[in-house]
Amino acid sequence: MTDIDTEAKVYGKNTKYCLTSTTLTVTIGNKKPERIPLYNIIAASYHPSDSQLLKVAYVTRQKKKGPLKLVQLDGQVEGDKAESAGNLAKTTLEWAYKDIKPNRRLKILVNPHGGVGKGVAIFNKHIEPVFRAAGCSLDIVHTRKTGDAYDIAKTLPLIEYDALITVSGDGLVHEVLNGFANHVNPRRALRMPIAPIPTGSGNGLSLNLLGLEDGLDVVAATLNIIKGSPMPVDVFSFTQNGKRTISFMSQALGLMADVDLGTEDLRWMGDSRFMYGLFRGLIKFKPCDVQLSYKAVEQDKRKMFENLNLRLSKRSDYTPEDLDDDTTLPEPKVGSNETEGWTTFSEPLLYMYAGKGPYVARTFMAFPVSLPDDGLIDIAVQSTKNFSRTGVLSSFDGAPKGEIYWNDSLHYIKAEAYRVKPLSKKGYLSIDGESYPFEEFQVEVLPRLATLLSSHGHYKAPFDDTKARSK
């Protein structure tokens, strides 16, 4: 591919544009050239009958570690550059979108009460202008109460949208997935890509899709919605008292449920509340009285680590035709009395944390070897046997990098299913951060049932074995 060049006047200054297969470089007057990766370009057009304007819209950081911001550059093209400007605009747009359909049609659910209650203001100021600049069509709804997102997803006319977007935290995603699961055509509904914009207090999904650097950047999340590809993900069927719920992120018992649920009053702390809750829970150091059994597929931490690296070298293999004719939700395959091939955890446990997606908060990579579509759930179990309060506390030192995984006292299992029977009456159970009765339940993986938008094709959570090698 050969480079394409043109010139125009931006703010009255001579400006050079040079397009290569990866980058558009713009040099305004004597300023330093700005190299814009094609991924960051959301629109490019040439308007011969509108003052001969060459318009380019992209997102960029003004400071190295600052947030992404929208830039819209309008260049005035002189007559002799009209052809090259038209060519540059057309090719930039083609290359910037490659296999992605531009002008996505989006259903957007904004929770005005998510996080610290700034969802609407953030959406209006930072997010909507980027979608508009990219030419997306927007159907925006402000949720008014719990359950609105569920109802909207349940009755969504699937044909009218390319993706459903939540502007909130993980709670709204949970509602949407359950709404889809109860849609008249649940399988197709769950094929509708979902993507979060992180304005909640728990934004684990966004962190998993975009990584620590971008995971809380609302414009990076917006760009992911404009440019990301559908990525199939496993979700979980959570059954309690005969009722089935879809869980997509985590189930927590013991200390970790206290952290999830016992910190509601601390929402103002943002996601620091998770670490604070952890310290508060550790003071009690109370074992969680349950019987945990699982149908394990892998328990070798080293092997799981190798599988992770193997998966990172590949993108997800999404094919839209991949959908079979069966329109109903898959029935649970694992019976509630099944015991063959099951193991019962025999030690007293401080917590059990099970889920999918490495980060549960910015400060805690709970499932570092989690894969979006391996058909398995990761279960982390901290035993209290030969373990002290200070031991657990120091094991959380490397929590943001997932180092806790390498601790010998942390049992880590990949399973197809598991079940929990409480042995006492009192306790917390958290499902995707929401409180559920502390009663018997079973969880089973539903492989590749839901769909997310991902720019990477895998979770973005760098994890290494430095800690293991230094032991």
Identity of residue 420: V
Helix (H) or strand (E) holding 174: helix 170-181
Encoded one letter per residue, x for contact with ligand ATP by CB under 6 A and - for no contact, window 210-249 reads ----------------------------------------
Question: How near is the Cβ of 112 to ligand ATP at its closest, in Å?
Answer: 5
CA atoms within 13 A on the CB side of 48: 10
Instruction: Report residue 434 CA to chain centroid gap.
Output: 18
Cβ-contact 130, 218 below 8 angstroms = no
Question: How near is the Cβ of 33 to ligand ATP at its closest, in Å?
Answer: 41
Question: How near is the Cβ of 173 to ligand ATP at its closest, in Å?
Answer: 7
Question: How near is the Cβ of 227 to ligand ATP at its closest, in Å?
Answer: 23
What is the sign of the dihedral through the CA atoms of 290, 445, 202 and 456? positive
Collapsing DSSP to helix, strand or coil, 299 comes out as coil
Site membership for ligand ATP, residue 403 (CB under 6 A): no
Q: Which residues are CB-neighbours of 394 under 8 A, at least 6 positions away? A: none
Tell me, what DSSP letter sits at residue 288? B
Question: By C-beta, is 101 or 145 nearer to ligand ATP?
Answer: 145
Site membership for ligand ATP, residue 357 (CB under 6 A): no
Residue 216's nearest CA partner among 205, 225, 226 is: 205
Instruction: Report residue 98 CA to chain centroid gap.
Output: 23
Q: CB burial class (10 A; 0-12, 13-18, 19+) of residue 91?
A: middle
60 forms beta bridges with 69
Q: Alpha helix (H) ranges present in 352-460?
A: 389-395
What is the sign of the dihedral through the CA atoms of 59, 61, 66 and 69? negative
Residues binding ligand ATP: what is the number (CB under 6 A)? 22
Encoded one letter per residue, x for contact with ligand ATP by CB under 6 A and - for no contact, window 258-297 reads ---------x------------------------------
Cβ-contact 390, 285 below 8 angstroms = no
Cβ-contact 28, 444 below 8 angstroms = no
Question: By C-beta, is 217 or 373 nearer to ligand ATP?
Answer: 217
Residues 297-316 that bind ligand ATP (CB under 6 A): none
Among 433, 442, 445, 449, binds ligand ATP (CB under 6 A): 433
Residues 98-127 that bind ligand ATP (CB under 6 A): 111-115
Collapsing DSSP to helix, strand or coil, 116 comes out as coil
Encoded one letter per residue, x for contact with ligand ATP by CB under 6 A and - for no contact, window 1-20 reads --------------------
Question: By C-beta, is 111 or 229 nearer to ligand ATP?
Answer: 111
Identity of residue 83: E
Question: By C-beta, is 146 or 336 nearer to ligand ATP?
Answer: 146
Residue 282's nearest CA partner among 366, 379, 434, 388 is: 388
Site membership for ligand ATP, residue 389 (CB under 6 A): no
Question: How near is the Cβ of 116 to ligand ATP at its closest, in Å?
Answer: 8
Site membership for ligand ATP, residue 144 (CB under 6 A): yes
Question: How near is the Cβ of 196 to ligand ATP at its closest, in Å?
Answer: 8
Site membership for ligand ATP, residue 355 (CB under 6 A): no
Cβ-contact 141, 131 below 8 angstroms = no
Question: How near is the Cβ of 168 to ligand ATP at its closest, in Å?
Answer: 3
Residues 181-200 that bind ligand ATP (CB under 6 A): 200
Q: Among 56-64, 142-150, 384-392, 441-449, which window interacts with ligand ATP (CB under 6 A)?
A: 142-150
Cβ-contact 100, 65 below 8 angstroms = no
Question: How near is the Cβ of 121 to ligand ATP at its closest, in Å?
Answer: 14
Question: By C-beta, is 108 or 371 nearer to ligand ATP?
Answer: 108
Question: How near is the Cβ of 268 to ligand ATP at its closest, in Å?
Answer: 10
Q: Among 98-106, 137-145, 235-243, 339-347, which window interacts with ligand ATP (CB under 6 A)?
A: 137-145
Question: By C-beta, is 125 or 144 nearer to ligand ATP?
Answer: 144
Count the neighbouring beta carbons within 10 Å of the beta carbon of residue 398. 16
Phi-psi region of 356 (alpha: psi -120 to 50; beta: other; left: phi over 0): beta
Token pair listed for 134: 């990219």
Site membership for ligand ATP, residue 206 (CB under 6 A): no
Question: By C-beta, is 145 or 471 nearer to ligand ATP?
Answer: 145
Interacting residues with ligand ATP (CB under 6 A): 111-115, 143-146, 148-149, 168-172, 175, 200-202, 267, 433
